[in-house]
Each structure stands twice: as structure tokens, then as C-alpha cells.
């Protein structure tokens, strides 16, 4: 055993290059295996912990206004679930010159907060703010935030910074496809703050104004009635005075006539009493109604529920019968929860594809290189057998070699993968999400499995390589092996083609055709490499399609929001402008999916929406453009009818164009069309382009100084958000392309090294015959290029399949990755594949130059 052990070590030394390349590919497989599985487990378990520790809600139920007592009734009627109500208030504001949206909540036990800094105990002028908003806007504890609502300024001090599992994916509403860390702040404050702010809510203001109108009308009617009573009393009093004056001489007569007026006076007195009563009732009702309206500032519309789905559904049904229900959302549909799937899906796809690919290639390389080594040591194996060694002992001596490679390649690199890959992926992951830092862990089980797989694959490869040689009897093994018979290639059946080939080409063709199995096996690596390249480039293309189609076409420099709805002619802009266009966005819904209806100017120029061929779509009065993302999600084509709802009102339009936008599900129509549909078209949002076509901070500041302008967004802001997505994808793409590079170089280098070693004698003969080093190199290189070409043929369909699968899995409800593969992508992938081969050829050059003519030719056949 000791000798076998030593022999395997010496074997390693004598085939160091081959040994290192086997280690390398095992290392990649192990690192990727351990890294990806660790990431999936880490994210899954950490998110579960996060949801549990923050008491993440099982459902959100939206109701008509409910007060504390009402919620107690709900709770008493449904003891199996826990119900909490919370008040909220949302407003648009400006922070450091940029428009932001704040959403205020009252604290609840369900959907609790993970405090990062400060305290959760706040007074009425203090708030808690979410960490990602604080970080991106450079806000710190004890900083002040001022909010302007209806000309009133409220100032709050930040007393705590938190993360919330509910807002791990921050998108404020339908109109935002990408998480918005900087422009959307979540604030928790006392109920008093919420009540105070809710005095500015549309609901409160609308209810109050509606009631005031009704009160005023009633008051007018009461006043009119009162006036009638006064007039009638005056009439009666006049008649009385006239009677008294007319009959002053005849007192009896006068009394008799006055007596006839008594019933009228009684009727009038009764009417007066009724009026007093009605007035008093009105005062009471008015006070009650005002109190009810006041209650709207403390009522809740949102219930957070913990419990099992059937009980939640039962609760929802009971609310429906009481006409209290508005809608609800279960945990599984919540963006913060679905993010788990969104994030894990692509990683899980990689988990299934990448390690298998690398281990498979590793075992193929081990199989081919060990077959060569074993064949070279055929005589030695025969001697072992002649000396009486058992087959199992011989097997073991070679298995040691593979095990060395497996151990050296797997253990450190699996650990490295476990350490690095979750960090890299989490870094990518957290650019979209707002989450506390994740504590990293070493998963020994995955590292051990990676080692087990490495040992398994290397053992299988070695045992396969040994199989035929161990079948030989010792005497047979000690004789030289009969040369492999050469066959004509099938291409020779076409002499018109075959005779045109040079001798080098003929030689290459026969070499390739003679080693069909070897070529097929080695092509797997190239197939994988080309497939990965296509996938990487296609993802990159889909992502840039998404950004370019949606954002980069914008021709405006600023998007402004005015303090009230305005016409373009009313705008007071303190900067030079070129084009000003109105826009208005409505929240829509179709088939339970939210969408945007954007109203834009007829003949608009500042959005420059393009179609698939890159041509700008002309916006006419009756143009209806839907985005490519929407066309894919709803399976719509031009001339199809698109049905949607805005505020529960149904609309139906015929699609005239499909834009090249992959980011939002949106419908664009003209103001004329919107008006004819009955939509309210007055707006406070405008796009502006300037003569310089440049974005200048000075201009932004000047615009903000204008009192009628509430907020100014620049085109850069839109691009920044999109670039965040690109950054995430770029990292994934880099990993993919790097893997392709490693695969390709390892495979070609290994196989070509083996090829050169096997054919040393032949190559030396060529050199002796007077072939230059370059001519010999070209022979080897051409074979590698041909191998790359064959691999590319298989790699193309594999790449198309892989990129479409990954694109489908990476796509979310918010954005669509087309997974489209253009001829340019194919050309670039092939170019990269051949470039990798070219690089490998450069590395191999040394091996060819180093061939020693005399020694190579001396070897006995």
C-alpha cells in the first residue's frame, strides 16, 4: 500500500500540468456547487427567520373605515385569527430638492420592525424611518424631516432607523416596476401624528366638504322656513293691529273678530315649535356628522392578520356579507414574500445546471487524461499483474491519483465557494431589496457533498479508463499494442470535395473522425461554454433592451410636478425651455394585474416611444400603444382589444402599436382619447426639454425656487434606478462568461495537451520532414478550432434553450426578459468561443516548441 501511495504521488509529479487542470475543474465544480447551495439555504433560512422574528402578516385585509371598537368586534367574532388595524397616510413631498413619497404607519405587533438604530418609542414630533431610505438619502438619527401639506409645514425628528420585512421590496404603487429605495420612505409614527396628517387626506377633506355643502343647504332651508314663520307672524300681527284700530269703538265686536285669529296664531306657534325642534336636531346631527368625519382621521382601512388561510378566507367572507370588505392580499401574493421566489429562482436554476456541467466536464477530462496515462502505463500494469497484484490493488493505485485531485480541488475551493458566492450573490440581491445584513454561515454538509461528488466523479472516470486494460492478460499487456487501424472518412466519398483539401486538412479530418468518442466527449465542454456565452450575452441584451426601450429613449431633461393641476400656458418656468408636454398617469387593472395608463400628448416628442424596429411611434389622437412587457404578459397583438379598469370603470381599446419596452405593463393614449373616454385629464405633471439638452443642477434649483413647482425629477434619476437592475444582471453575466472562459480553456487545454503528447512522434516527424514550428502549430490549432466549431454546433441550440429558460425564470411580474437571441449575439458568442480557443492555442505553443525531435523519434512503437 505504501508503495502504491508513493507511486501515485510520483505520478502526480510527472503529470503536474494535467493534474493541475483536473484540480482546477474540480475546484470550479466544487466551489459553484457549495456556493450556490449555500446561498439558496442561507437565503431561505434567513428569510424565514426574518419573517418569523418580524411577525410577518399572513394577510392584509382592506375594509371600509373601522374604529377600535369595530376591530374588537372583528377579533371577538374570529378568535382563531389575530387582527390588528393600522392607520396610514401617504403624501408626496420634496427632500433635498428631489421628489419623494412618504408613507406613514402606526406601529403594530404584526409586521413588526427590526430596529437598526435608535429607539422605537417616539413622541408626537418624532418618527422612525426605514433604513434604505435613510441610507440613500444620507439621513441620520436626530435629523429633521419637514413635510409641507396644504401649506402647513410639519417637522419631525428621526428617532429610529429600521428594516421591515413587509417593505423588503419597496415599490410604492403600480407605477413603479423597480424597487424605489431613495424616492419612497416608510415612516412609523404615533397615532396622533397619523390623525393630524389624516386631516389632509383626500378622504377627510372630501367628506368634510361634501358634508359642509349639505349642512349649508339644510341651513339655508331652515333659515328660509324661519323667515316664512317670521313673515307670517308679522302678517298676523298686522291683521290684529288693523282689527284693533278698526273696531276700537266696538270692543265686543273687536274681541269676536280677534277670536277668529286665535287658531291661526296657534298654528303659527306650533310651526315655530317644530322649527325650533328641527333646528336643534340639525345642530345635533351636524355635530355628529362632523364627529364621524373627524373619526376618519383615526379610523383604519387596513387590517393585518395572522392566522391560517381558511380562517382568513372565512373572515373575508363574513366582511363581504356586512358590506365592509374592500379587498385582501395573502402573504403568498405580497411582493415582499414573492421576492423570495424572484431571487431564488435564477439561483436555483444555476444550482441545477452549473455544478452538474462542471462535474461532468471534470469527469470527462479525468476520463480522457487518465485513459492516456493508463495506456502509457499498460506495460507497467501488466507487470503488476505478472507480479501477482490483484486488480483491486491496481485500481486503488490509480484511484489515489483521482482522489488526490478531488481532495486538493474540492475541500479548499468548496469552502472558498461557500464563503464567496453567497456574499457575491447577496450583494447583488440587496441592491434591489431593503434588508438588514445577512449573517453568513459555513455549510459543512455542502462542502462534504462537493467532496463526495468530486471523489465519485473522479473514481468513476478512473475505473472506466482502467476497464479494458485490466481485462488483458499480463503477456498481452507486455506486448506493444496493435496500432489502431485507419479508416477512410465518409467525406472521401465525395472526391470533388476531398481532393480539394490540403494534406493538413485531410490529416485533421481523419484525426477527428478516428477519435469520434473523444471528440464527442470533449465537445461537451465546448457546448457548455458556447451555451453559457449565448446565455450571458442574451441576458445582457434583454436587460439593455429593457433599459433602452424604456428609459434611454427619453428626450426630456426634467419631469416636474406642480402644486396644482395646470395647463401648459399657465406654467411659470424660470428656465429656457424647448418643448413642454403634459402627462398623466392612471392606475389600472386587468385580469387582477395592475397596470399603468399613461396619457401623453398627441404628436409627443419627449418620450419618443419606439417600436421593435427602433422606429419612433407617431402618437395620434386614437393611437393606443401597449408595452412589449404587457403584450407578453397578456398575450396581446396589434388590433387586439385590451380591456382594463380604472377605478372600477371598465374600458376597452384596440391596440394600434406595441412599443419596445420590457419594463412596465402600461398603455399609452392621447389626451384627446382620454378625454373622450371620460377620464379627468387635468394634470400636474409635465416633461420639459431645454435648448441645451443637458441636465444642470442650477436649472433644477431654479425650478424648485418657483413656488408653483413642487418637485423636479431628472432623466438621470430614471436611469439610476434602471442601472441598479443592470448592475445586478452584469454581475450574473460576468459569472456566466467567466465560467464559459474557464470551461473552454480547461477543456481545450487538456485535450490539446493530451493530443500533443499522444502525437509527439508524428509532430516530431513533421518537424524533421522540414515543417516549420508554425506549420505544426497550425495543424494542432486547426484541430482545436474545428473542435470549437463542432462544439458550437451543439452549443447553439443548448444556448438558446438555456437563455430562454433563465430569461423566463428571471422575469418577474414587473419586468420581462425577452431572452431574444439576435444574430449578433450568436456571432459574438462564436467569436468569444473561438477567441478562448485562440488564447488556449497561445498557451499550448510552448508545448509544441518544446517537442524534442531526437527523443520523440527514438521511442519504440
CB of 772 to another protein, least distance (A): 5
Q: Which of residues 759-798 bind another protein (CB under 8 A)?
A: 761-762, 764-773, 775
* Region binding another protein by CB under 8 A among candidate stretches 509-517, 526-534, 551-559, 642-650: 509-517
When the beta carbons of 442 and 768 are compared against another protein, the nearer one is 768
CB of 782 to another protein, least distance (A): 14
d(Cα 793, Cα 530) in Å, to the nearest integer?
9
Q: Taking a C-beta distance cutoff of 8 angstroms, is the pair 542, 807 a contact?
A: yes
- 3-state per-residue secondary structure call for 520-535: HHHHHHHHHHHHHHHH
C-alpha cell at 444: 459543512
d(Cα 584, Cα 683) in Å, to the nearest integer?
6
Q: Is 596 helix (H, G, I), strand (E, B) or coil?
A: strand
| 483, 495, 707, 823: residue in contact with another protein (rule CB under 8 A) | 483
* Region binding another protein by CB under 8 A among candidate stretches 314-322, 484-492, 521-529, 594-602: 484-492
511 binds another protein (CB under 8 A): yes
Nearest Cα residue to 369 out of 778, 749, 839, 777? 749
Nearest Cα residue to 5 out of 286, 511, 482, 403? 403
| 52, 393, 486, 693: residue in contact with another protein (rule CB under 8 A) | 486
When the beta carbons of 332 and 774 are compared against another protein, the nearer one is 774
853 binds another protein (CB under 8 A): yes
14 binds another protein (CB under 8 A): no
* Per-residue contact string for residues 705-744; x = within reach of another protein by CB under 8 A: ----------------------------------------
When the beta carbons of 27 and 763 are compared against another protein, the nearer one is 763
| 13, 79, 387, 503: residue in contact with another protein (rule CB under 8 A) | 503
CB of 498 to another protein, least distance (A): 11
When the beta carbons of 379 and 765 are compared against another protein, the nearer one is 765
| 76, 245, 327, 485: residue in contact with another protein (rule CB under 8 A) | 485
* Region binding another protein by CB under 8 A among candidate stretches 154-162, 428-436, 503-511, 634-642: 503-511
| 218, 383, 514, 638: residue in contact with another protein (rule CB under 8 A) | 514
Q: Residue 616: enclosing H or E segment and its boundaries?
A: none
C-alpha cell at 734: 460576468
Residue 655 has phi, psi (to 5 degrees) of -75, 130
C-alpha cell at 199: 386631516
Beta bridge partners of 88: 105
Q: Is 106 helix (H, G, I), strand (E, B) or coil?
A: strand
Residue indicated by cell numbers 477543456: 747
498 binds another protein (CB under 8 A): no
Transcribe 314-349 into DSSP letters: HHHHHHHHTT-EEEEEEGGGSHHHHHHHHHHHHHHH
Q: Is 587 helix (H, G, I), strand (E, B) or coil?
A: strand
d(Cα 95, Cα 136) in Å, to the nearest integer?
12
Nearest Cα residue to 410 out of 31, 839, 808, 791? 31
495 binds another protein (CB under 8 A): no
490 binds another protein (CB under 8 A): no
Q: Taking a C-beta distance cutoff of 8 angstroms, is the pair 788, 748 a contact?
A: yes
Q: How many residues bind another protein (CB under 8 A)?
A: 28
When the beta carbons of 263 and 770 are compared against another protein, the nearer one is 770
* Region binding another protein by CB under 8 A among candidate stretches 324-332, 499-507, 562-570, 704-712: 499-507
Q: Taking a C-beta distance cutoff of 8 angstroms, is the pair 331, 312 a contact?
A: no
Half-sphere exposure of 252 (CA within 13 A, CB side): 0
d(Cα 162, Cα 116) in Å, to the nearest integer?
5
Taking each helix axis as running N to C, give the angle between helix 516-547 and helix 823-849, from 0 to 180 degrees, rounded to the nearest 10: 140
d(Cα 179, Cα 168) in Å, to the nearest integer?
9
When the beta carbons of 3 and 846 are compared against another protein, the nearer one is 846
Q: Classify residue 13 by its DSSP letter.
A: H
Beta bridge partners of 189: 106
CB of 762 to another protein, least distance (A): 6
| 506, 610, 696, 717: residue in contact with another protein (rule CB under 8 A) | 506
Q: Which of residues 254-293 bind another protein (CB under 8 A)?
A: none
When the beta carbons of 378 and 761 are compared against another protein, the nearer one is 761
240 binds another protein (CB under 8 A): no
CB of 513 to another protein, least distance (A): 9
Beta bridge partners of 93: 100
491 binds another protein (CB under 8 A): no
* Region binding another protein by CB under 8 A among candidate stretches 247-255, 315-323, 822-830, 849-857: 849-857
CB of 508 to another protein, least distance (A): 9
Query: What's the gap between Cα 425 and its chain centre?
Result: 13
Q: Taking a C-beta distance cutoff of 8 angstroms, is the pair 493, 754 a contact?
A: no
649 binds another protein (CB under 8 A): no
CB of 10 to another protein, least distance (A): 17
When the beta carbons of 23 and 754 are compared against another protein, the nearer one is 754
C-alpha cell at 575: 428656465
860 binds another protein (CB under 8 A): yes
| 420, 507, 566, 839: residue in contact with another protein (rule CB under 8 A) | 507
When the beta carbons of 287 and 768 are compared against another protein, the nearer one is 768
CB of 783 to another protein, least distance (A): 12
When the beta carbons of 136 and 489 are compared against another protein, the nearer one is 489
When the beta carbons of 121 and 772 are compared against another protein, the nearer one is 772
How many other CB atoms are there within 10 angstroms of residue 782's CB atom?
Answer: 15
When the beta carbons of 148 and 514 are compared against another protein, the nearer one is 514
Residues whose CB is less than 8 angstroms from the CB of residue 125 and which lie 6 or more positions away in sequence, other chains included: 155, 156, 157
When the beta carbons of 345 and 505 are compared against another protein, the nearer one is 505
When the beta carbons of 326 and 853 are compared against another protein, the nearer one is 853
845 binds another protein (CB under 8 A): no
846 binds another protein (CB under 8 A): no
* Region binding another protein by CB under 8 A among candidate stretches 13-21, 160-168, 409-417, 853-861: 853-861
499 binds another protein (CB under 8 A): no
How many other CB atoms are there within 10 angstroms of residue 323's CB atom?
Answer: 7
Nearest Cα residue to 419 out of 739, 31, 49, 27? 31
481 binds another protein (CB under 8 A): no
CB of 765 to another protein, least distance (A): 4
| 107, 199, 510, 610: residue in contact with another protein (rule CB under 8 A) | 510
CB of 379 to another protein, least distance (A): 17
Q: Taking a C-beta distance cutoff of 8 angstroms, is the pair 645, 667 a contact?
A: no
Torsion of CA 621, 622, 628, 632, to 10 degrees: 160
Torsion of CA 359, 361, 366, 367, to 10 degrees: 110
Half-sphere exposure of 337 (CA within 13 A, CB side): 17
When the beta carbons of 294 and 758 are compared against another protein, the nearer one is 758
* Region binding another protein by CB under 8 A among candidate stretches 73-81, 268-276, 332-340, 502-510: 502-510
When the beta carbons of 724 and 762 are compared against another protein, the nearer one is 762
In 78-203 the beta strands, taken as DSSP E runs, fall at 82-86, 88-95, 98-106, 113-118, 126-130, 144-149, 152-164, 184-189
When the beta carbons of 412 and 515 are compared against another protein, the nearer one is 515
In 499-578 the beta strands, taken as DSSP E runs, fall at 558-566
d(Cα 350, Cα 805) in Å, to the nearest integer?
11
Residue ranges that bind another protein, judged by CB under 8 A: 483-486, 503, 506-507, 510-511, 514, 761-762, 764-773, 775, 853-854, 857, 860-861
Amino acid at each position: 500500500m505504501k508503495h502504491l501511495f508513493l507511486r501515485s504521488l510520483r505520478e502526480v509529479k510527472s503529470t503536474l500540468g494535467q493534474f493541475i487542470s483536473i484540480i482546477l475543474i474540480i475546484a470550479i465544480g466544487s466551489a459553484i456547487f457549495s456556493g450556490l447551495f449555500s446561498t439558496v439555504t442561507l437565503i431561505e433560512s434567513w428569510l424565514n427567520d426574518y419573517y418569523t422574528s418580524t411577525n410577518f402578516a399572513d394577510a392584509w385585509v382592506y375594509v371600509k373605515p373601522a374604529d377600535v371598537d369595530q376591530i374588537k368586534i372583528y377579533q371577538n367574532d374570529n378568535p382563531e385569527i389575530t387582527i390588528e388595524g393600522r392607520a396610514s397616510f401617504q403624501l408626496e413631498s420634496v427632500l433635498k430638492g428631489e421628489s419623494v413619497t412618504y408613507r406613514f404607519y402606526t406601529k403594530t405587533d404584526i409586521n413588526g420592525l427590526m430596529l437598526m438604530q435608535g429607539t422605537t418609542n417616539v413622541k408626537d414630533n418624532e418618527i422612525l424611518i426605514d433604513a434604505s431610505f435613510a441610507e440613500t438619502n444620507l439621513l441620520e438619527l436626530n435629523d429633521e424631516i419637514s413635510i409641507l401639506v396644504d401649506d402647513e409645514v410639519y417637522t419631525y425628528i428621526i428617532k429610529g432607523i429600521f428594516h421591515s420585512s413587509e417593505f423588503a421590496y419597496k415599490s410604492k404603487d403600480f407605477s413603479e416596476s423597480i424597487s424605489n429605495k431613495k424616492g419612497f420612505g416608510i415612516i412609523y409614527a404615533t397615532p396622533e401624528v397619523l390623525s393630524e396628517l389624516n386631516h389632509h387626506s383626500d378622504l377627510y377633506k372630501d367628506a368634510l366638504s361634501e358634508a359642509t355643502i349639505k349642512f349649508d343647504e339644510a341651513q339655508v332651508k331652515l333659515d328660509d322656513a324661519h323667515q316664512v314663520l317670521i313673515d307670517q307672524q308679522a302678517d298676523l300681527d298686522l291683521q290684529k293691529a288693523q282689527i284693533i284700530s278698526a273696531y276700537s269703538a266696538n270692543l265686543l265686536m273687536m274681541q269676536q273678530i280677534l277670536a277668529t285669529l286665535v287658531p291661526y296664531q296657534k298654528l303659527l306657534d306650533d310651526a315655530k315649535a317644530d322649527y325650533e325642534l328641527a333646528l336643534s336636531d340639525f345642530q345635533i346631527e351636524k355635530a355628529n356628522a362632523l364627529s364621524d368625519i373627524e373619526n376618519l382621521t383615526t379610523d383604519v382601512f387596513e387590517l393585518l392578520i395572522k392566522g391560517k388561510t381558511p380562517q382568513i378566507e372565512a373572515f373575508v367572507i363574513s366582511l363581504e356579507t356586512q358590506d365592509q370588505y374592500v379587498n385582501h392580499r395573502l402573504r403568498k401574493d405580497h411582493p415582499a414574500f414573492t421576492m423570495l421566489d424572484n431571487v431564488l429562482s435564477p439561483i436555483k436554476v444555476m444550482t441545477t445546471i452549473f455544478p452538474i456541467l462542471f462535474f461532468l466536464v471534470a469527469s470527462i477530462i479525468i476520463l480522457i487524461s487518465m485513459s492516456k496515462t493508463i495506456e502509457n502505463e499498460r506495460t507497467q500494469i501488466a507487470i503488476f499483474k505478472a507480479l501477482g497484484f490483484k486488480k483491486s490493488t491496481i485500481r486503488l493505485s490509480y484511484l489515489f491519483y483521482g482522489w488526490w485531485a478531488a481532495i486538493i480541488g474540492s475541500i479548499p475551493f468548496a469552502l472558498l465557494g461557500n464563503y464567496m458566492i453567497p456574499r457575491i450573490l447577496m450583494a447583488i440581491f440587496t441592491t434591489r431589496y431593503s434588508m438588514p445584513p445577512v449573517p453568513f454561515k459555513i455549510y459543512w454538509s455542502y462542502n462534504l457533498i462537493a467532496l463526495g461528488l468530486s471523489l465519485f466523479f473522479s473514481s468513476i472516470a478512473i475505473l472506466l479508463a482502467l476497464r479494458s486494460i485490466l481485462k488483458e492478460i499480463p503477456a498481452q499487456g507486455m506486448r506493444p499494442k496493435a496500432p489502431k487501424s485507419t479508416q477512410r472518412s465518409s467525406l472521401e466519398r465525395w472526391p470533388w470535395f476531398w481532393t480539394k483539401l490540403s494534406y493538413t486538412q485531410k490529416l485533421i479530418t481523419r484525426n477527428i473522425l478516428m477519435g469520434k468518442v473523444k471528440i464527442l466527449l470533449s465537445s461537451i465542454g465546448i457546448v457548455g461554454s458556447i451555451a453559457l456565452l449565448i446565455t450571458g450575452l442574451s441576458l445582457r441584451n434583454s436587460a439593455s433592451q429593457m433599459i433602452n426601450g424604456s428609459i434611454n429613449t427619453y428626450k426630456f431633461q426634467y419631469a416636474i410636478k406642480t402644486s396644482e393641476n395646470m395647463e401648459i400656458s399657465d406654467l411659470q418656468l424660470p428656465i429656457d425651455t424647448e418643448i413642454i408636454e403634459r402627462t398623466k398617469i392612471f392606475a389600472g387593472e386587468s385580469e387582477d394585474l395592475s397596470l399603468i395608463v399613461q396619457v401623453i400628448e398627441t404628436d409627443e416628442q419627449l418620450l419618443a416611444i419606439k417600436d421593435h424596429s427602433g422606429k419612433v411611434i407617431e402618437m395620434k389622437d386614437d393611437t393606443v400603444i401597449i408595452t412589449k412587457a404587457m403584450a407578453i404578459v397578456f398575450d396581446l397583438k396589434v388590433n387586439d382589444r385590451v380591456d382594463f379598469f380604472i377605478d372600477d370603470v371598465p374600458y376597452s381599446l384596440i391596440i394600434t402599436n406595441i412599443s419596445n419596452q420590457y419594463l412596465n405593463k402600461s398603455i399609452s393614449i392621447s389626451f384627446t382619447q382620454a378625454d373622450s373616454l371620460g377620464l379627468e385629464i387635468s394634470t400636474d405633471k409635465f416633461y420639459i426639454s431645454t435648448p441645451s439638452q443637458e441636465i444642470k443642477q442650477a436649472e433644477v434649483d431654479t425650478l424648485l425656487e418657483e413656488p408653483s413647482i413642487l418637485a423636479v425629477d431628472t432623466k438621470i434619476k430614471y436611469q439610476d434606478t434602471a442601472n441598479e437592475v443592470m448592475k445586478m444582471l452584469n454581475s450574473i453575466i460576468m459569472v456566466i462568461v467567466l465560467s464559459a472562459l474557464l470551461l473552454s480553456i480547461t477543456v481545450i487545454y487538456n485535450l490539446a495537451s493530451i493530443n500533443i503528447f499522444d502525437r509527439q512522434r508524428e509532430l516530431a516527424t513533421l518537424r524533421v520532414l522540414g515543417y516549420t514550428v508554425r506549420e505544426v502549430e497550425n495543424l494542432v490549432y486547426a484541430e482545436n478550432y474545428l473542435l470549437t466549431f463542432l462544439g458550437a454546433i451543439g452549443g447553439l441550440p443548448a444556448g438558446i434553450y438555456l437563455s430562454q429558460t433563465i430569461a423566463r425564470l428571471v422575469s418577474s411580474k414587473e419586468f420581462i426578459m425577452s431572452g431574444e437571441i439576435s444574430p449578433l449575439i450568436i456571432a459574438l458568442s462564436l467569436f468569444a468561443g473561438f477567441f478562448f480557443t485562440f488564447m488556449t492555442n497561445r498557451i499550448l505553443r510552448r508545448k509544441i516548441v518544446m517537442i524534442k525531435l531526437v527523443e520523440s523519434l527514438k521511442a519504440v512503437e
